[in-house]
Amino acid sequence: MGNLTFTMIKPDATAKGYTGAILDCMIKGGFTIKAMKWTRLTQEQAGDFYAVHKQRPFYDELVKFMSSGPIIAGILEKENAVADFRNLIGATDPAKAAEGTIRKQFASSIGENAVHGSDSDENAVIETDFFFSKLERF
């Protein structure tokens, strides 16, 4: 089990000014920031990032949403990072997310759900490499 995961604060949350509060949740949740950047995905980049969902009915909506405004991408460190971070962010659908989770507090719908968290150590590596060079990780 790895100690790194990858996150994004999604365009809904950056637009609503939740960035600081969400970063605070991550830090209070015991995660250390190893890399972080404010950026914006093109539709093509968002499509590549979520390519695994290409056959799903929500794919086009997801690509449009994820390229609709700025995001924050980050690498977070903690023991058991992937699973612990999924617990901190809560269920994909905020209506089903546990009390106190980031999505419960800041997400508005299953599509516009405030944050991304890697779902495996393997994907955490793929996703960090998508956004960060070795020179950008501390």
Instruction: Report the alpha-carbon distance of residue 14 to residue 20 in Å, rounded.
Output: 9
Q: Contacts by 59-63 with C-beta closer than 8 Å and gap 24+?
A: 61/111, 62/111
Q: Which of 116, 127, 128, 131 is catalytic?
A: 116
Binders of ligand ATP: how many residues, by CB under 6 A? Answer: 11
CB 95 within 8 Å of CB 37: no
As given in the structure block, the two tokens for residue 104 are 């419960």
Among 15, 16, 43, 58, binds ligand ATP (CB under 6 A): 58
9 contributes a contact to ligand ATP by CB under 6 A: no
Among 5, 14, 113, 128, binds ligand ATP (CB under 6 A): 113
Residue 42 partner contact from Mg ion, ligand ATP, none using kind-dependent CB cut-offs of 5 to 8 Å? none
Query: Residue 9 phi/psi, 5° resolution?
Result: -90, 120
Active site residue 53: no
Binders of ligand ATP in range 78-107 (CB under 6 A): 92
Residues that bind Mg ion (CB under 5 A): 119
Report the 10 Å Cβ neighbour count for 128: 22
Q: Which residues are catalytically annotated?
A: 116
